[in-house]
Every structure is written in structure tokens, then in C-alpha cells.
Amino acid sequence: MDEQVLSSFLIPLAFISTIVYGIVALYIKYLLYHMKNPMNLLLIQMIINFIFILAIYLVMSVLGIYPVEVITLGNIILIIISTIFLFFGILSLYYGFKVGNVSVGGLILSSRVFVSVLLAIIFLNEIYSLNIYFWFFFIFLGIIFISWQEDFSFIKGVRNSGSIYFLLTIFLWGFANVIIGAVNNEVFVISFLIIRLLVLNTLTILLYPKLKEYLGEDHPLHFELKSIFLISVFVLIATIGDAAYIMALGESVTITEAIGAFQGVIVFILVLLLSQNSLLRSIYNEPLKKKTLLVRFLGITIATIATLIMIYELGSLNI
């Protein structure tokens, strides 16, 4: 890896996706509060997302700015497999946010870096200096502090806060991310998203009735104007994160996921701001005791310093 010159856009792309996904995590919580049923949210989201990406493709094609490319069968298969892992990870994530605590979820989701990095070493031969691994360990340590709650048992939280869904998500997404890394940006990001969304829509439509029945969701599907508007805004925001994330993973799964662990900091800061609103406090139910805030701000400090030092260390890799 020392001889590999990584793209100068890797760190900006990774940060863009991290910030966007931090916003998206809280937006999902709000949408689930509004819609009640994760399967209904997933179905409407996939339909709107596909229409949105297809519109981008058509506009770029008409303007003559869409790149001419030949996508190999191998890359198509890799995209399909990664999308299957992604689909069940999304479903698991939505149920985790529906029944769980945002901070516990943020901690567990941030820990996916260890799954992704291990898989990247095994399957992609991504090996960096010990300094890099040392500093993103401190990023994760900061996330642990950020997720700390006074009078809160983590073991109890894992058992009762929907954490089984978060744990399942990180393993599913870990495999999905490594497969995306294997594609190595050989497919234009819009083409990648079109193939992905074709698979996601197919899976969602085919499995919607069975999953809804199996998971005991009895809320009827309504295409309300407010829901469509809220999900459309969500899709617009999430697509920016998805595009940046896919391109960053194509350069380096390890670095993208290490910076992605900083998402826990973004989520905490946003939750802290949103919880000041009396209308949103019931949705983003987070403890605000002084001791809890002190420990969490310590976590922000640790994670931020570790991230900045890690980026400095990456300068030796010509990033």
C-alpha cells in the first residue's frame, strides 16, 4: 500500500459521506416516527430514489456529458451481491432506529470500521502503517465516550435497544463495502447507482408483503403528499452521501471507514441541537445530564484530535 498513490479526493469524499450519513441517521429516525412502518418507508424510498437517479442519467445523456463505458459482467455481479447485503442491512438498520437508542446505534454502527478493515485486509490486501490503525482506534474510543450515558447499562442497552439489528447491519454492510471496494471505481457512480437501485427495488417489491407479515407491521401503505415530500428530501440528501461513499470506497475501504467512524460525533452534535426543541425531544430522546454531557464532550475531543492526526499521517501516502 505504501507504493499506491491514493486519489486526492479520497478524504474530502469520505468526509462528505460521513457528514451526510450523520444527517441521514437522524432523518431516518424522524421518518420512522412519522410513518411508523419501516417497510412502507423502504418501499416508497426505493421508488423515489430510482426515479431520481434515472432522471439524472437522462439529463446527463441528453446533455451529452454521460461517459461512454462498458461494464463487465464481473462488476455487474459484484454490484448485485453488494446490493443484496446492503438491502438487508438497510432493513435491519431501520428496525434498529425504530426501537432503539440513537447513541447506542451510533456507537455500534461506528464500530463497523473493525469489520470492514479486517475484511479489507483479508480480501483487498489493504494494509497501512500501525500509526493509521492506532489513531482510528482512538476515534472509536472517542465514540464510546460520546455514547456513554449515566446510569445506563450497556449490556442492558444491547439487549433492549434494538441493538441486535445494529449488529446485524454492521456485518452486512461490512461485506457490502468490501465488495464495492473490489469494483475499484471501474464503474461510473451513476451507472453503479442505477444497477444498485434496480436490484433494491426488485428486492423491496418482491419481499414487501412477506417481510411486512413476518415482522408484524400492520400499518397500511399510504402515498401521502407529506410523506412523499419528506422522503424525496431524504433521497436527495442520501444520494449525495451514497455517491461520495461509493467513490471513496473505490479508493480505500480502510480510510473511508476510519473517517466514517467520525459519524458518531456528527450524530451526537446534531442530536444535542435537535433535543433543545420541545417538539423533537420526544423523537430524539437522549440524556442531557451534566455528567453525561461532560463525558460526551470529552469523547468529541478525543475523536476529533485522533481524526485530524490520522489525516496528517495520511499525508505520507500522498492523499
The pLDDT tens digits of the residues spanning 206-259 come to 988 877 776 666 667 677 788 899 999 999 999 999 999 999 999 888 888 888
Query: Torsions phi, psi of 9, nearest 5?
Result: -90, -5
- Alpha-carbon gap, residue 154 to 13, rounded angstroms: 33
Would the pLDDT of 91 be above 70?
yes
Burial class (CB in 10 A: 0-12, 13-18, 19+), 172: buried
Dist CA 205 CA 188 (whole Å):
26
d(CA 254, CA 126): 7
Q: Residue 201: is its pLDDT beyond 70?
A: yes
Which of 38-42, 125-129, 161-165, 235-239 holds the top average pLDDT?
235-239
12-47: pLDDT as tens digits: 999 999 999 989 988 888 888 877 777 788 888 999
pLDDT of 156 > 60? The answer is no
Distance CA 167, CA 295 (A): 24
pLDDT of 196 over the 90 cut: yes
pLDDT band at 110 (very low <50, low <70, confident <90, very high): low
> What's the pLDDT band for 112 if we cut at 50, 70, 90?
confident
Mean pLDDT of the chain: 82
What is the tens place of the pLDDT at every residue in 45-82? 999 999 999 999 999 999 988 888 889 999 999 999 99
Q: Give the pLDDT band (50/70/90) at residue 102.
A: low
Residue 105 above 90 pLDDT?
no
Query: Could you give the CA distance from residue 204 to residue 46 in angstroms, rounded to a whole number?
Result: 8
DSSP state letter for 123: I
pTM over 0.95: no
Question: How far apart, in whole angstroms, are the C-alpha atoms of residue 205 and residue 298?
Answer: 45
Q: What pLDDT score was predicted for residue 37?
A: 75
Domain range annotation of the chain: 10-317
* Per-range mean pLDDT, top range of 135-139, 197-201, 292-296: 197-201
